[in-house]
Amino acid sequence: MACITSNTKFCLSVNPAAVDGMSPRTLFDKVWHSHEIVHGEEGGSLLWVDRHFVHEGSFHAFDRLAQRESPVARPDLTFAVADHYVPTRNRSDGIADPEIRSVVDRLYRNTRRHGIRLFGLEDPRQGIVHVLGPEQGLTLPGLLTVCGDSHTSTHGAFGGVAFGIGASEVAHVLATQTLWQRKPRRMRMTITGSLAPGSTAKDIALTWISRLGADGARGYAIEYAGDTVTSLSMEGRMTLCNLSIEGGARCGMVAPDAVTFDYLRGRPWAPSGDAFDRACQAWRALATDAEAEFDREVTLDAGDIVPTVTWGTSPEDALPVDGRLPDPTRARDSATAEHIADALSYMGLRPGQRITDITIDRVFIGSCTNARIEDLEAAASILRGRRSRVPGMVSPGSTLVKRQAEARGLDVVFRSAGLDWVDSGCSMCVAMNGDLLPPGERCASTTNRNFKGRQGPGGRTHLMSPVMVAAAAVTGHLSDVRPLLPDRETA
């Protein structure tokens, strides 16, 4: 492996042989093999890790290190973020819940002990790890990034390999800066054509997951390709890669291009000056070779993608907003029928019911999937001049996003609509920080999972894009956002 610059803060582990001079390779192959230290006899690979993110839930791994009296091998390549357990209200008063306070305090103690940089509550850059990493330029093309969180796949939007790992693997990375992994198969998902107004990256993801299933991409690394993908902003690409895990994929990736480079230019941890130009040359070489082969090819027509919402208890339970709920008696097999019946029962819905007849009790805009400035601006464009019929909250993805939104007056839009404007954090996505969906309530949410109790015990979650959440807010039920778009409003 070789660094493309001498500055270790953005040293890229690029093996030239993995990029040039070999048989045609995919983007995934190039990054994977440039990080492969050894290939084991049983099929696993020992990989070098460029970026390791930890958060409050990583205390189990730090405890294992303490038991072995082991140091952190590369504290300069590990970055800690307080996001999952942190409250989003009244932070200046401290954390009231003693259990939550204890978990957050352990992160502070562990990072101090090992000399790890922490983006804590008092840090003006604090935010959700999968928002903060790209925002700070810690996420770069060609890197291998891991974190004890399944939605680490978000970082693959920059052309790196990124995936979530378990507690024992977090401990291994802390102790060695390496990780044993079995190489996944390669899938290319090509999406072509222009998205219609009202359709977003979130709708692309929910559409392919509903068609392939929650296990449809299991065992694969997905490369998203096609002119639809290249036309997406970095925020949209991150949303797409974020949701890869919900279709069973190990990770999602997009080849770095001018959009990527423009986003990264000037970021704190990104290369600068001539080094940035040299880095861009290396990053361009990561693109999949013309003759490279994939284990599976999937194609989608962007013209078929419409505003989509989930109705059940898995992200695969998704339908166009103008659809009707499925009937278990018409399912293709008994297992599917059982799942549909169980999901409808939990969600309090009826077979054949129109999606637009489903009333909601609350809305939430936030999470690592859809809480960046582009997402907030999109939601605000629907809410501007309107009132929400239900209570709700908006939690920006980072403190910097919050400040940016406030500078543009978006906080005024949300407050004027009747929604709470709170601090950054995982918030109601994970229901472990005080932000809970009450039992039996139904929430239109920009999050990534609608599992039973995900937003709170007994809570019912419908996943959708930020503009679709805004549409649900102003109507009080699941609604098609298209008639409400600023340039299409007829009312």
Q: Which residues contact 307 (CB under 8 A, 6 or more apart)?
A: 198, 199, 203, 320, 321, 464, 465, 467, 468, 480, 481, 482
Q: State mean pLDDT over 461-485.
A: 98
Residue where the block lists tokens 């209200």: 89
Give the integer Cα–Cα distance in Å for 266 and 217.
Answer: 35
Its pTM surpasses 0.85: yes
C-beta of residue 252 within 8 angstroms of C-beta of residue 241: yes
The pair of three-digit structure tokens given for residue 438, joined into one six-digit string: 């009450």
Residue whose entry in the numeric block shows the structure tokens 């008994």: 334
pLDDT at residue 123 in the model: 96
Taking domain 309-484, whether its CATH number is 3.30.499.10 is answered by: yes
Contacts of 364 (CB under 8 A, 6+ apart): 392, 393, 394, 395, 427, 428, 429, 437, 443, 444, 445, 446, 447, 455, 469
Report the distance separating Cα 419 and Cα 403, nearest Å: 17
Kindly provide the residue ranges of all beta strands, DSSP E only, lying in 168-226, ordered along the sequence. 178-182, 185-192, 220-225
pLDDT band at 222 (very low <50, low <70, confident <90, very high): very high
| Of residues 354, 303, 368, 298, the one with CA closest to residue 325 | 354
What is the pLDDT at residue 41? 80
Q: How far apart are CA 465 and CA 375, in angstroms?
A: 8
pLDDT above 50: residue 6: no
User: Residue 487's pLDDT is what?
Assistant: 78
Mean pLDDT taken over the chain: 94
Residue 409 CA to residue 318 CA, distance in Å, equals 33
Q: What is the arithmetic mean of pLDDT over 109-129?
A: 97
pLDDT in tens, 36-57: 999 988 889 999 999 999 999 9
Full DSSP string of 396-409: -SBHHHHHHHHHTT
Are the C-beta atoms of 466 and 365 separated by less than 8 Å? yes
Overall residue count recorded for the chain in this entry? 491
Averaging pLDDT over each range in 5-14, 87-96, 172-181, which range is the top one? Answer: 172-181
Q: pLDDT class for 21, splitting at 50, 70, 90?
A: low
Question: Using CB atoms within 10 A of its CB, is residue 387 exposed (0-12), middle (13-18) or buried (19+)?
Answer: exposed
Q: Encoding tokens for residue 350?
A: 């009826």
Positive or negative torsion for Cα 137, 143, 148, 151: positive
Cα(327)–Cα(342) distance, integer angstroms: 11
